[in-house]
Amino acid sequence: MNNIDTSVGDWSVQQLQLAVQAACVALWRWNVDDNSFYMDRRGFDLWGLQWSTKLEFEQLSAHIHPADRDRVRAAFVATRSVSGPYEIDFRIMLGDAIRWISARGQGADEGIVDRTMFGVFLDVTGRKQAEEGHELLAGEMSHRVKNLLAIASSLTALTAQSCHSVEEMTKDLMRRLSALGRAHDLVRPLPASQGNAALLGDLITVLLAPYDDLGAFSDRIRVAVPRMGVGEQTANILAMVIHELATNSAKHGALSSQEGALAITGAIQDEQLIITWAETGGPVVSEQPTMSGFGSQMLVRILEAELAGSITYDWQPTGLVATVSVRTSSLPN
């Protein structure tokens, strides 16, 4: 039978307890013979359980997220045969809330005392949420870069069709790409020193400037919306909506054609800002697209979650008519 030291170097048991408390670590032990599980009070708080002197391992696993439960059980069983330290991250259910837990210990019965294994639980919810946020941001940035490249290719092709010399094409293309860069800046949050509001008409006009320069396709885009300010959050979301609609139009709609035109109008109705995006003169719409791509799904989620809004698509033979609805009370945000 192994013995447990009551001190480690110059550290007393009381000092170790204070260190564990300061690190917000929950302690656990598991008897591998009778499957009984013990935790300190921090562990019960972490799992959202009432204090008890003893738990069965299965009782604890019942609170693990169903999608993670089998994986966690298999991982804990594997710790009996795999030597060295281990770390298992999983979700637990606290009513409707989800919390991420990291279980850490030693495998292959290392450090086992009286048939009991020891380890800790850590609340890693913040880290996991940050990782998910980074993954979402990476996906959004990848999607946005692809869109920008597609737009740049489309603008290059359109510019080549309307120019008669390399010099003219270079000048026009640089102007369009510069406008595209200014539009892209509006999609990301502005520094605090630049304020937190923009005029709705200015926002839309700048975003669409790359498609309506002073060249062959001048004045094919018309913007007529109420003169009203929108806050930083709303401006960024509306910018993404306009950016996505313009991208699709430049690829497949009115903005991909020399004869294409776009009219954007707005009105306030029943405490809702209604923005209508109407395309004409583009390729003939023979069938309704599914709009199931990443960008389209992103627009729906963002509008619903952030602005209590919506977007609908009406595919007319002459082109797309999209209607964006946003709650007016959310505009100053």
Most confident by average pLDDT, 3-17, 37-51, 195-209 = 37-51
Q: Whole-angstrom Cα distance, residue 260 to residue 187?
A: 25
Q: DSSP for 13-37, please give it.
A: HHHHHHHHHHTTPEEEEEETTT-EE
> Is the CATH number of domain 13-123 3.30.450.20?
yes
Measured at the alpha carbon of residue 241, what is the angle toward residues 236 and 244, in degrees to the nearest 5? Answer: 120
Quote the DSSP letter at residue 173.
Answer: H
- 231 has which bridge partners? 197
- Residues 16-43, buried b or exposed e (16+ Cβ, 10 A)? eeeeeeeeebbbbbbbbeeeebbbbebb
What are the residue boundaries of the structural domains of the chain, listed by start?
A: 13-123, 128-330
User: pLDDT band for position 218 (50/70/90)?
Assistant: low
140-147 LR contacts (CB < 8 Å, sep 24+): 140/298, 143/294, 143/295, 143/298, 144/184, 144/187, 144/243, 147/243, 147/244, 147/247, 147/295
Read off the pLDDT of residues 11-52 as tens digits, 9 standing for 90 and up: 777 777 777 777 778 888 888 777 778 888 888 888 888 888
Residue 121: name the closest of 64, 54, 62 by CA.
64
Rounded to 5 degrees, what are φ and ψ at 81? -120, -15
Tokens of 19: 């260190």
Check if the beta carbon of residue 60 is closer than 8 Å to that of residue 101.
Answer: no
Burial class (CB in 10 A: 0-12, 13-18, 19+), 121: buried
Task: Compute the chain's Rg from CA coordinates.
Answer: 29
CATH number of 128-330: 3.30.565.10
Tell me the average pLDDT across 182-192.
54
Residue with tokens 């738990």: 55
Record the tokens describing residue 246, joined without a space: 């313009």
Single pTM value for the model:
0.47
Can you give the pLDDT at residue 193?
A: 46
293 compared with 122, residue with greater pLDDT: 122
Angle at 63 between CA 75 and CA 108, to 5 degrees: 20
Report the SS3 class of residue 84.
strand
What sign does the CA torsion over 106, 108, 110, 114 have? positive
**Per-residue pLDDT for 308 more than 60?**
yes
State the pLDDT confidence band at 216, using cuts at 50, 70 and 90. very low
- DSSP letter, residue 330: G
Phi–psi pair at 173, nearest 5 degrees: -65, -40
Per-residue confidence (pLDDT) for residue 290, from 0 to 100:
67
Looking at mean pLDDT, say which of 170-174, 207-211, 256-260, 274-278 comes out highest. 274-278
Span 125-184, pLDDT tens digits: 888 888 877 777 677 667 667 766 776 776 677 667 667 788 878 877 776 676 666 655
Provide mean pLDDT across the span 185-193.
Answer: 52
Q: What is the distance between the terminal CA atoms of the chain, rounded to a whole angstrom?
A: 65
Whole-angstrom distance, CA of residue 61 vs CA of residue 35: 12
Which pLDDT does position 3 carry in this prediction? 47
